[in-house]
Chain A
Amino acid sequence: MLKFFFRRASLVIPTFLGVTLLTFALVRLVPGDPLEMMAGERGLTPERHAELMAQYGYDKPLLEQYGLYLYELAGGDFGRSVVTKKPVLQEFFERFPATVELAVCAMFFAVLIGLPMGILAAVRRGTVLDYAVMGTAVTGFSMPIFWWALLLVLFFSVNLGWTPVSGRISALYWVDARTGFMLIDSLLSDEKGAFRSAVSHLILPAVALGTIPLAIIARMTRSSMLEVLNEDYVRTARAKGLSPFRVVTVHALRNALIPVVTVVGLATGILLAGAILTETIFSWPGIGKWLIEAVRRRDYPTVQGGVLLVATIIMLVNLLVDLLYGVINPRIRHASERT
């Protein structure tokens, strides 16, 4: 197991270096620089432009800039945003809790609905129910998020008035950011109704963001269940006279879950990288929107630092999933140890 862990972990460092090089190069390949973007139509005189480039160190040879960047990175310094002048790391952690909160709730929604949907479809294979579930899953999977989210808002927020349009909590509440997780902060605050307001603000974004993972989970669960239901040990369990419910939930589901766990893990990793469309529509202050804005403004340090942090998170989640997979399914662990 330890060998397996080190084999996986040893891949992290080269990937990490690759990401730094790639983001460093890509953001500079994009035409325009942060100083021009800030000046807009006003423009900068060539002298002033050169002066500012020197001030930010962007006039140095690229290799030197990269070396300096890595050196500072090694000391834990992600640099400061050219736009807000705040440390990138601070900006990232101001927004990351919002992304985590949304991702977790979206996955919770996806699993809560997707798993039973998939099981039902597998058990009632070939019936109207199966077709209905799979039809819904395909629709959910192919739904353009932007359109779907706006549709949800129009129906539930504007027409019915059940949920708020966007934001994390009503403007009427003053909740201090203690943890950055609005659900927790609103519970800790002594404002009456703050928690309910926070929950209501989470519903639509979580549903919109969870729709695609839900569809994937439902389909995955169904096909995995179908495979398992044909296994000999399930037939044996049935033959023993166990109730169909027990056969499905205890004997079949446990084994069918293995691929589903992988899918859930990977999808969570992706959601943690920020959901640009959902965050934009719901004014959710997460890292996806933050990064897009940084790219738009050519905020080099923010793009470099932000992408690196996101990549790190995805790598960690993938590593975790790999390890978890090994724990759940010993065959994989042993296979990798043999080779």
Chain B
Amino acid sequence: MHSRLFTLAAGAALTLVLATAQAQADKTLVYCSEGSPEGFYPALYTSGTTFDATSRTIYNKLVEFERGSTQVVPGLAESWEISDDGLEYTFHLRSGVKFQSSDSFTPTRDFNADDVVFSFMRQWDPEHPYHLVSGGSYEYFSGMDMPNIIKSIEKVDDMTVKFTLSQPEAPMIANLAMDFASIVSAEYGQAMLDAGTPDAFDQNPIGTGPFQMVRYVPDERIDYVAFDDYWAGRAAIDRLVFLITIDATQRYNKLLAGECHIMPYPNPADVQAMMDNPDITVMEQAGLNVGYLAMNVEHAPFDDVRVRRAVNMAIDRDAIIDAVYLGAGVKAKNPIPPTIWSYNDAVVDYEYDPEAAKALLDEAGVQDLSVTLWAMPVQRPYNPNAARMAELMQADLAEVGITAEIVTYEWGEYLERSSKGEHDMVLLGWTGDNGDPDNFLNVLLGCAAAKDGPNRARWCDEDFEALISQAKQISDVDQRTDLYEQAQVVFKDQAPWVTIAHSVVFMPMTNNVQNYLIDPFGGHVFYGVDLAE
């Protein structure tokens, strides 16, 4: 009986090995992704997981970020001109760009200006036949203030489109390289409308991009094939599979077992073992993010700049980077990461000096201060362990006589309450959207965001605001750089935050993956990637 059981088990094991060993001729790149996309029309959503599966595979934008950099390069627009007053943007479109096809749609024409107008008007015009399809909320389009910035979008001729703005907006080109600006097919839109199935437009995507989505099994996998007629040249791989694997430990196990080639977001504790493994290559790059501690300047005594400076001196950030980021972080001194242009390296940071902090607090007349210190309940790219970080800060603050009570809420509530300014000090962070300094300095520290917005310090400084507003109005990069550099000096002097760290992004992959580049925006881009035989 026993030997028979054993034979059975051994037989079963052998068939398994054979099954997994069966290879196919196609070059298939398997990516163990961290979650399911919310849908397949990127403008409706805000999560990077969705963008990886849509705008970074299926679609193109008028302008694109060069792979692995924050540099804007031509995409579906070959070239563009900006009028002297900074109000008119004229785009000359690329000719001969093909759309993908599917069982339900075969394009009859190449990409043209109608597609560009369709893509933006859907998000902007409440009367557009697609505006309300799939819920009709376009959070990035409105979040980037497009409805107020854009005055009109017109088709000049088949291959030319003109955007007219109501005010100069220097980051406009970078905004158009963002995921929400993906270009879809107007012809496909009309076809689905005629067929009475506009929902299908968002669920079965048709784009001009390097990969065509052929199947999606919710929570399980997404299958893509290389688009043969891709305008920039066919992808080096034939098939791309996203295997949705939520658990980071299991992604690592799958990488070890050869079930996937690349995985995102490893557990920080696993990174060293991955680096030591000769079968795995770990790429790393400083992320386009910042983790910070914001002090609510509306709550005394944080209205006093001396107290804010004292807190900056009281916290030992080197210890935090070792203990919380496990070394995978770069100490931050500016609110923008060093990979963004206009980063001011000349800014002098506050040194860790508890004695000087105590002296400053005495000078400000602050004694026996009790504050709340909010710690996020979730792991984010810019802060792997906020609870631990808060504990370290609590101890540091106690050294200078500040009693900090650690407070935490469930994530949704945390965001809501902190945007309303209920905290004294709050831990949070940001990952950049478009590589423009405005996307950090204005969004996180501008006056408009100080009232119930993302400006958690609720800090509104006249000098700072004047500098960043002016920089937003001019398109000359040198002049803008100068203004942003000055703004960073004001920021450091006024110290509304303790700038903690820019985390390092790790991408583990098997050794046969070639030409992968880490996307500074935190995305995962597979065009240009190859597999060694």
**A contact residues vs B (CB 8 Å cutoff):** 30-33, 36-46, 48, 52, 55, 80, 82-86, 91, 94-95, 98, 150, 153-154, 157-158, 161-168, 170-172, 174, 176-177, 192-193, 196-197, 200, 280-283, 285-286, 289-290, 293, 298
The answer for the CA separation of A177 and B216 in the assembled complex, in Å, is 10
Q: Looking across the interface, which residue of chain B has its beta carbon closest to that of A52?
A: B137
- Name the distance in Å between A282's Cβ and chain B's nearest Cβ: 8
Residues of the B chain whose Cβ atoms lie less than 8 Å from the Cβ of A172? 22-24, 28
Query: Is B219 close to A, CB under 8 A?
Result: yes
**By the criterion CB–CB under 8 Å, are A280 and B253 in contact?**
no
Q: Give Cα distance in the complex from A245 to B32, angstroms.
A: 51
| Chain B residue contacts of A289, Cβ below 8 A | 219, 246
**In whole angstroms, how far apart are the Cα atoms of A45 and B144 in the complex?**
12
Q: Could you list 24 examples of A-B contacts with CB < 8 Å?
A: A31-B416, A32-B410, A36-B415, A37-B411, A38-B45, A40-B47, A43-B454, A45-B452, A80-B135, A95-B219, A158-B257, A163-B16, A165-B254, A165-B257, A167-B220, A167-B259, A171-B243, A192-B22, A193-B19, A200-B19, A283-B220, A285-B217, A285-B218, A285-B220
Shortest Cβ distance from residue B412 to the other chain A in the assembled complex, whole angstroms: 2
In the assembled complex, how far is the CB of residue B263 from the closest CB belonging to chain A, in whole angstroms? Answer: 11
Q: Does B430 contact A (CB under 8 A)?
A: yes
Q: Is the CB of A171 within 8 A of B415?
A: no
CB <8 Å contact, A283 and B415: no
Q: Does B275 contact A (CB under 8 A)?
A: no
Q: In the complex, given contacts A32-B413, A41-B415, what are 17 additional A-B residue pairs having Cβ atoms less than 8 angstroms apart?
A: A31-B416, A39-B143, A42-B139, A45-B452, A48-B142, A52-B137, A94-B218, A95-B218, A150-B250, A158-B257, A162-B13, A164-B257, A166-B254, A170-B19, A280-B246, A283-B220, A283-B250
* Residue from B19, B45, B136, B142 within 8 A of A197 (CB atoms): B19
In angstroms, how far is the closest chain A Cβ from the Cβ of B261? 10
Q: Is the CB of B220 within 8 A of A41?
A: no
- Which of A84, A91, A161 counts the most B-chain CB atoms under 10 A from its CB? A84
Q: CB distance A290 to B413 under 8 Å?
A: no
Contact A158 B220 (CB under 8 A): no
Residue contact B28 to A280, C-beta cutoff 8 Å: no
If over half of B's interface residues share one DSSP class (helix, strand or loop), that class is named, otherwise mixed; here it is: mixed
B202 within 8 A of A: yes
Q: In whole angstroms, what is the CA distance A48 to B221 when docked?
A: 34
Across the two chains, which residue of chain B brings its CB closest to A162?
B13
Q: Which residues of B, 108-138, contact A by the 8 Å Cβ criterion?
A: 134-137
Minimal Cβ-Cβ distance residue in A for B144: A42
Asked whether B137 lies within 8 Å of A55 as measured between CB atoms, the reply is yes
In the bound complex, how far is the Cα of B16 from the Cα of A193, in angstroms?
Answer: 9
Asked whether B247 is an interface residue with its Cβ less than 8 Å from the other chain, the reply is yes
| Contacts A30-B410, A32-B410, A41-B415 given; does A174 touch B215 at CB 8 Å | yes
B39 and A84: CB pair below 8 A?
yes
Q: Does B241 contact A (CB under 8 A)?
A: yes
Distance from B149 Cβ to chain A, minimum over Cβ atoms (Å):
15
Which residues on B are within 8 Å of A, measured CB to CB?
13, 15-20, 22-24, 28, 30, 36, 38-39, 44-47, 134-137, 139, 142-143, 199, 202-203, 215, 217-221, 223, 241, 243-247, 249-250, 253-254, 256-257, 259-260, 409-413, 415-416, 419, 428-430, 443, 452-454
Taking a contact as CB atoms under 8 Å apart, the answer to whether A40 and B20 are in contact is no
Q: Is the CB of B46 within 8 A of A281?
A: no
Whole-angstrom distance between the alpha carbons of A42 and B260 in the complex?
32
How far is A125 from B50 in the complex, measured between Cα atoms in Å? 58
- What residues on B are CB-neighbors of A84 within 8 Å? 38-39
Determine which of B139, B244, B253, B254 lies in contact with A38 in the assembled complex, contact meaning CB atoms within 8 Å: B139
Q: Is the CB of A157 within 8 A of B257?
A: yes
Q: Are A161 and B17 in contact (CB under 8 A)?
A: yes
Given A158-B253, A193-B19, A193-B22, do A177 and B415 touch, yes or no (CB 8 Å)?
no
Do A46 and B452 touch across chains, with their CB atoms under 8 A apart? yes
Checking B137, B199, B410 against A31 with a beta-carbon cut-off of 8 angstroms, the contacting residue is: B410
With both beta carbons as reference points, the residue of chain A lying nearest to B133 in the complex is identified as: A85
Other-chain contact of B217, A177, A193, A282 (Cβ < 8 Å):
A177
Task: Report how far A150 CA is from B20 CA in the complex, Å.
Answer: 20
Asked whether A85 lies within 8 Å of B250 as measured between CB atoms, the reply is no
B409 near A31: Cβ-Cβ < 8 Å: yes
Instruction: Pick the residue among B220, B241, B260, B412 that contacts A168 (CB under 8 A).
Output: B220
- Which residues of the other chain, A, contact B428 by a CB distance below 8 angstroms? 41
In the assembled complex, the CB of A97 is this many whole angstroms from the nearest CB of chain B, namely: 11
Minimum C-beta distance from A280 to chain B (A): 6
A298 in contact with B412 given A172-B23, A285-B217 (CB within 8 Å): yes
CB-CB under 8 A from B249, the residues of chain A are: 150
Q: Chain B residues with Cβ under 8 A from A293's Cβ?
A: 36
Cβ contacts under 8 Å, B415 to chain A: 32, 36, 39-41, 43
Residues A167 and B221 in contact, CB atoms below 8 Å apart: yes
- Chain B residue nearest to A180 in the complex (CB): B217
Residue of chain B at shortest CB distance from A287: B219
List of 8 A-B pairs having minimum Cβ-Cβ separation, nearest first? A32-B412, A285-B219, A31-B413, A196-B19, A285-B220, A85-B134, A200-B16, A171-B241
Do residues B412 and A283 form an inter-chain contact, with CB atoms below 8 A? no
Bound complex: CA A158 to CA B199 (Å): 42
Chain B residues within 8 Å of A80, by CB: 135
List the B side residues contacting A38 at CB < 8 Å.
Answer: 45-46, 139
Please name all residues of chain A whose beta carbon is closer than 8 Å to the beta carbon of B221 when the two chains form the complex: 167, 171
Which residues of chain B are near A86, meaning CB under 8 Å?
39, 203
Chain B nearest CB: distance from A76 CB in Å?
A: 18
A246 CB, nearest partner CB in chain B, Å: 19
Q: Which residues of B contact A196 (CB under 8 A)?
A: 15-16, 18-19
Chain A contacts for B215, CB-based, 8 A: 174, 176
Name the A residues within 8 Å of B429 (CB-CB). Answer: 41
